[in-house]
Structure 1
Amino acid sequence: MSEQSKFDIVIVGGGSAGIATAASLLKRQYWLNIAIIEPKDEHFYQPGWTMVGAGVFSSEETIRPEADVMPEDVTWIKDAVATFDPDNNAVTLERGDKVEYNYLVVAPGIKLNFDAVEGLEEAIGKNGVTSNYVREGAPYTWQLVQRFRGGKAIFTQPPLPFKCAGAPQKAMYLSCNEWEKKGVLDNTDVEFCNAGPALFGVAEYIPPLMEFVERYDAKLSFGKNLIKVDGENQIATFAVTDADGKVTNVEEKFDMLHVCPPQCAPDFIANSPLAAETGFLAVDINSLQSTKYDNVFGVGDVVATLNAKTAAAARKQAVVVAENLLAQKDGTALNSVYEGYGSCPLTVTKDRIILAEFGYGGKIMPTFPKWINNTLKATKFAWVLKADILPWVYWNCMLKGREWFAGSTKKDSGHH
């Protein structure tokens, strides 16, 4: 069966970025004929999974039926894309059907690359091995934290790119805060194993974070990349790079291991004519237009840009893509600019957050004036924002085309 179907706009992916972009487009031109291609039945609010791992949210609060978040006026094609044919303005679905478009928005997210760590996928969810990056993992993290009575707790961070730059260390702080309250922290050996060279990519945020690293007496190990997990024997193997660039493999016993899995572009993107050398979608970093095809745009974790891959970034990008796609369609200049904004609410205790907000080049871009929230301090305001306000904004604004905190920057002149 090969139903030919053609749409003004086809959006690949019904996650945060895809739905928000559809909503933003329809808000501007409600008559657009849009299709969203998304195989999953459920929609996840992934920023909530850190909170599930800390017992603040239940898993159920972060999941809704995909049908409930799909904008009313779009056609939902419940399938996955197999291949792209941008020269003929078409995609082919896994079931073989072809879908044609005038404009394409690519938003399938990022792939958790479990294969990059030997034994990891089989290990998660038992024997003390967990990850807030998978739906089943976050509730298990909270179980482990509650049961923990001391021993060795390891938290890992892979090389970039991965989504939510702060999440690997957030899991550590929230676990330690709980152990501190229960009097378990003193007999716990906490280690943060980071494949990268620094605690955080924006230097200004390191001193306030270090206060909590020191408070929880966590050991920081840089250049230390997880390569193998033996869950049954509770042994983690790391490739450790020293100052001279020499790599040695080191085995460590653990009682609890929280892993941030390595991440990469989805295969069907990496193998497509739309990909950059990294495998991610090649786009202009400010307009989010494909550098290869003028009628293709990218949004969310899949784009080859150097911003932090967060839901907050997708919230800003969706507006830029909606405005620039419609400008392209009208033959006018693409004047909406994405400045690389991303936000990492770094949960350092169970009632305080350092709200890291920054753009390209590590430029700090706070949403709120300092008297409301000092971005370089752990504040109660930022906790309330993350725990109470942002989930509501996500379900009721971002996915509905109500663009709070999401206006785009405009170019001064009309040049491309």
Structure 2
Amino acid sequence: MLAARSRFASVAKRTFASQAEATTAPVDKKYKVVVVGAGPGGLSVSSTLSKMLGKDQVAVIDPSQYHYYQPLWTYVGGGLKDFRESVRPMESVVPEKADWIQQRVTQLDPDNNQVKLNDGKTIGYDYLVVAAGIQINWDQIKGLKESLGKDGVTSNYSPESVQKTYKFIKEFKGGNALFTFPNTPLKCPGAPTKIVFLAEEAFRLQGVRDKTNVTYNTSLGKIFGVDHYGKVLQQLADERNINVNFQTELIEIKPEDRKAIFRNNANKEIKSFDYDFLHVAPPQGAPTFIKESKLADAAGFVDVNKSTLRSNKYKNVFSLGDCSNLPTSKTAAAITGESGTLKKNLIAQMEGKDIKPAEYDGYTSCPLIVGRDQLILAEFSGYTGQPLETFPVDQRKISSAAQYLNMEVIPSLYWNGLLNGTWTGPSTFRNIMSPFRKD
């Protein structure tokens, strides 16, 4: 009887072992580091690591044919920049020593150190960096996909429709101009507000402001999350007769009637607004393949330590940018600081160095465009809500110099610094300027 049990246990053990082996797909190729996503975070990390490790050691997985500098899209929508300045072929920005795998990730398997692709291949890794950005969920608003780019409905969050925004602004002859902010996380939380101010100014310059109602319906409880800058922004909105409705979320567009349906998230009241121009900031969320993986938190974003950017679940996994659950604004400026911290910690781990980890302080920036030559340069920690300003001036004040910096200088830093891994934010300059800053 004991012998039979022993034979049964042995057979069962071999069976379970073979089943476990069967679930681990054969690897088509393995890399020291795999980076998922070729946005600013992914390119910054892969540029630095591929220079350090050499060829065939770093892979970048991204299906996109083009790389977009999306912070420029507010200026494109406002008629101040050409869309072509915001785009470059992906092959021109992927690091020379990194392998670009132009496929879509379908599954993350951190238990087996594997990434599965839509072409059926499996890529193995020693270390994984997830920088996949955020997913725009156009379908969450009924009627949005069918309306977008037509009859005055636009969004600066799409490479196609952003090119329609200024066209619709120029064609606007008066009536109801409506702007929205979703009840979800989103990249560049200041962007929905910026286009309100640029459009309102354009209506004034076109001579139609006196017959225009400008309304900003935001799901937030205030116009900007950081009061240090938000109070100034709200004052400007009041001075320019911009109607701001809080906790008001777009849930449906009825293009045949030119009506936008909103829900007040405080009292659940449903209200209809007529529109002649409608700019929509669409709902956004974690990419599906991340949400379905073991790397995700309850909201679907990669669960990382907010100081070190290492996964709270897997020691060889890191994440930065919009797909992570870092509790700061999802901006390219945040990625500069995040990338510096992540690279230091990942490299130290790869080299087996037992050192005090580098810590990210939540730095982010949201250049608040309030006119063609007007900008409030908001810099702060998303962790504390306190200013982290670079220059020894009150950056709440409207500045044409800050507008020039944001339009002309920062894009160059992006293309020539952040993407090649050499620009990791303004902290050094902030420290240099510190003695000149008034308390």
TM tier relative to shorter chain? over 0.9
Q: Which residue of 1 aligns with 2:436?
A: none
Question: Which one is further off, 152-161 or 208-217?
Answer: 208-217
SS at match of 1:301: helix
Q: Deviations over 1:26-47 (max 9, x none)?
A: 4555568100001011001100
- Residue matched to 1:184: 208
Residues 105 and 297 in structure 1, CA contact (< 8 A), matched pair in contact too: yes
Residue 68 of structure 1 aligns with which residue?
92
1:368 aligned to which of 387, 391, 399: 391
Match of residue 320 from structure 1: 341
In structure 1, what is the Cα distance between the partners aligned to 2:173 and 2:377?
A: 30
Q: Does 1:273 align with 2:294?
A: yes
Between the two proteins, the alignment pairs up a number of residues equal to 403
Q: Does 1:4 align with 2:31?
A: no
User: SS where residue 345 of structure 1 aligns?
Assistant: strand
How far residue 369 of structure 1 moved from its aligned partner, in angstroms, is: 2.1
Question: Match of 1:14?
Answer: 38
8 Å contact from structure 2 (residues 144, 252) kept in 1: yes
- Structure 2 gaps, min length 5: 1-24, 429-439
Give the aligned partner of residue 399 of structure 1: 419
Instruction: Indicate conservation of the 8 Å contact 2:181/2:217, yes or no.
Output: yes
Structure 2 residue 401 is matched with structure 1 residue 378: no
Q: In percent, how many aligned pairs have the same letter? A: 39
Q: How far apart are residue 361 of structure 1 and its match? A: 2.1
SS in 2 for 1:88: coil
Q: Among 118, 122, 138, which residue is 1:114 paired with?
A: 138
Contact kept, 8 Å, 1:38 with 1:77, in 2: the verdict is yes
- Partner residue of 1:255 out of 276, 280, 298: 276
The C-alpha deviation readout for 1:56-96, integer Å capped at 9, x for no partner, is 11111111000000010000111011111111111111111
2:67 aligned with 1:43 = yes
1:154 to 167, 178, 183: 178
One-letter amino acid of the structure 1 residue matched with residue 326 of structure 2: T
Native 8 Å contact 2:154 2:164 kept in 1: yes
Counterpart Cα distance in 2 of 1:49 and 1:19: 20
User: Which has the higher Rg, Structure 1 or Structure 2?
Assistant: 2
- Aligned 8 A contact 1:328 1:334 in 2: no
Cα distance in structure 2, aligned partners of 1:354 and 1:32: 44
Deviations 1:372-396 (A, max 9, x none): xx32111112101111101111111
User: Residues 295 and 404 from structure 1, CA distance in 2 versus in 1: closer, same or farther, beyond 3 angstroms?
Assistant: closer
Q: 1:407 to 1:24 in 2, by over 3 A?
A: farther
Shift of the alpha carbon at 1:404? 5.6
AA aligned opposite 1:82: T
Work out whether residues 44 and 419 of structure 2, in 8 Å CA contact, stay in contact via their aligned partners in 1: yes
Picking from 308, 311, 315, the partner of 2:332 is 311
2:198 to 174, 179, 183: 174
1:355 equivalent in alignment to 2:377 = yes
Contact 1:2 1:96 in 2 (8 A): no
Instruction: Kindly provide the amino acid, as one letter, of the partner of residue 184 in structure 1.
Output: V
**Ranges of 4+ aligned residues in structure 1 off by more than 2 Å:** 24-32, 330-334, 404-408
CA 402–88 in structure 1, closer or farther in 2 if over 3 Å, else same: same
Output the TM-score relative to the length of structure 2: 0.89
Alignment of 1:83 with 2:107, yes or no, is yes
Which has the higher mean CA deviation after the structures are superposed, 227-236 or 254-263?
227-236
Query: Does the CA-based 8 Å contact 1:173-1:212 persist in structure 2?
Result: no
Deviations 1:143-200 (A, max 9, x none): 0111111100010001241111100010100011111122211111011101110111
Inter-partner Cα distance in structure 1 for 2:426 and 2:316:
23
- RMSD of equivalent CA atoms: 1.8
1:36 partner amino acid: V
Shift of 1:334: 5.2
* Contact persistence 1:319–1:406 (CA under 8 A): no
Question: Which AA in structure 2 matches 1:139?
Answer: Q
* One-letter code aligned to 1:315: T
1:335 — aligned with what? 357
